[in-house]
Structure 1
Amino acid sequence: MLQQLAFDGSGIDAGLFTTITDLAKDTKWLNTPLHLWTNAGLVVFAVLMVIGFLRARHRDTATMTLALAAPVAVVGAFAVAEVAKKLVAEVRPCYSMPHAYIVEACPVRTDYAFPSGHTTTAAATVAALWLLDRRLAGIAALFALLEGFTRVYLGAHYPHDVLGAALLALPVAYLVSRLLGRYAQPVVARLRTGALEPLLTRRRSGAHAAR
């Protein structure tokens, strides 16, 4: 029943998909590094958010609120993407295009393709960091492009899965971060003067960082 209801996305951009996976076939020496990166690379986005948090400890409450909002925004965007996956129910390329060159192991049929979860996480991080630290957001954007490319290169997703993930994650994460950054400041201000003060505020020259 699930198989009958699933959506076949190969009719959208199968040509571009096979062009990229053929590239993977011609660069087999790159398959293993990119396969390792596609999952391990997600750690980079977590590290960038941690760096944003550590920098925010020296700054005001508005900045700290955005730093704390960033991971919440990413989780929120990922949750929305998971709902979209169930609604669209697009089968993975490995089932729709079994003769294509695919590096990544084929998941179970109910692990749908649209939108790409990895790309959702990457793009959401970019949007959340944009409000916090533009330089960190720029770094995240470069890694997000690489993350999206690897998802197609490895045969895990169609190009529209990656594009759709970005178009979904960017506004959702931005909106969540912006709302939390605006309305959660009083809560964060109290936390910075309470039990979490040592964690959320860095002492400088004998005085607390600006609140």
Structure 2
Amino acid sequence: MVTLLADGGGGGSLDWSLVSAVNGLATSLPQALDSALAFLGEYGVPLGSVLLLLAAWARARRGKGAPVAVAGVLWAGLAAGMALLLNLPVRAMVQRPRPFVSHPGQLDLLMSHQANGSFASDHATFTMALAVGLLLVDRRLGLVGIALAFFEGFLRVFMGVHYPSDVLGGFALGTATVLLLAPVAMAVLTPFTHALTRTALRPLVTAPKAVRSRAARTGNPAETAPEEPPHDLAA
């Protein structure tokens, strides 16, 4: 299939200039720090996003409107997976070589990587989809997720495995997947979580009353009631 995006526009393109400059920072850092940042970019930040999703679920199930909030958290996770699936045909159509493939020997590749399609970044797509999904449910955790997604995007360029436009494309795909499909998803997931409250799986949706009462005594409003976005999302 015809390549729609080549090597970032050649050696003089802005895309290549940015990845070259950001990746060049690695030469001035200790090797141990480079390795640590590469590990974070490949595994650590995505895992942190997943842990953030679990924290949002734990908070959501403590509120009075827990089924709606939990449905929103569930959609954040499902949307991230769906965005990754949607990226498969995008990569197949674009067929963009990674920067270390188009510019062999000109980058400090911090971790061995497959020479598969570069656009769009799976890591950027996944972390941003989770972050935007959480933002609709829990503003505080959502903002933390956004920060993690931007850090992940920087690390993918720093590692020499993506162009900045690959990262921006992933951010756009992840955001669009969450927001465009949210009304339909919530219309399905909200009745589903409500139904779970009438089964043995109720603890997955709403915390036991003793836990909610203890949260109420702490005076933490985030634990005693869900934030407004889930109700708007369901509408």
Alpha carbons 2:83, 2:125 under 8 Å: kept: yes
Distance of 2:29 and 2:119 partners within structure 1: 26
Per-residue CA distance 1:116-144 (angstroms, 9 max, x = gap): 11111111111100111010011111111
Alpha carbons 1:91, 1:112 under 8 Å: kept: yes
Task: Select which of 40, 48, 52 maps to 2:52.
Answer: 48
Distance of 1:100 and 1:21 partners within structure 2: 10
Task: Select which of 30, 35, 38 maps to 1:32.
Answer: 35
Distance 1:193 1:19, change over 3 A: same
The two structures, once aligned, show a CA RMSD in angstroms of: 2.3
Distance 1:206 1:104, change over 3 A: closer
Q: CA deviation at 1:93?
A: 1.0
Matched position secondary structure for 1:10: coil
Alpha carbons 1:10, 1:97 under 8 Å: kept: no
- 1:76 aligns to what? 82
Distance of 2:183 and 2:36 partners within structure 1: 36
Q: Partner letter of residue 122 of structure 1?
A: T
Q: CA deviation at 1:5?
A: 5.3
- 2:24 aligns to what? 22
Q: Partner letter of residue 34 of structure 1?
A: L
- 2:202 aligns to what? 197
Aligned pair 1:125/2:130, yes or no? yes
Once superposed, which parts of structure 1, at least 4 consecutive aligned residues long, lie more than 3 Å away? Answer: 4-7, 104-109, 205-210
- 2:93 aligns to what? 87
Distance of 1:10 and 1:18 partners within structure 2: 11
User: Which of 97-106 and 120-129 deviates more?
Assistant: 97-106
Q: CA deviation at 1:8?
A: 2.2
User: Which of 188-197 and 170-179 deviates more?
Assistant: 170-179
Number of residue equivalences: 207
Per-residue CA distance 1:57-112 (angstroms, 9 max, x = gap): 12222112112111101101111122211110111111101132232345343x21
Distance of 1:184 and 1:193 partners within structure 2: 15
Distance of 2:17 and 2:191 partners within structure 1: 52
Q: CA deviation at 1:174?
A: 2.5
Distance 1:206 1:160, change over 3 A: closer
Is there any run of 5+ residues in structure 1 with no aligned partner, and where? none
Alpha carbons 1:57, 1:202 under 8 Å: kept: yes
Alpha carbons 2:35, 2:110 under 8 Å: kept: no
Alpha carbons 2:3, 2:93 under 8 Å: kept: no
Per-residue CA distance 1:185-208 (angstroms, 9 max, x = gap): 112111111121122221114999
Task: Select which of 8, 11, 22 maps to 1:10.
Answer: 8
Per-residue CA distance 1:142-195 (angstroms, 9 max, x = gap): 111110000000101011101111111111122334432233211211111112
Is there any run of 5+ residues in structure 2 with no aligned partner, and where? 214-223, 226-235
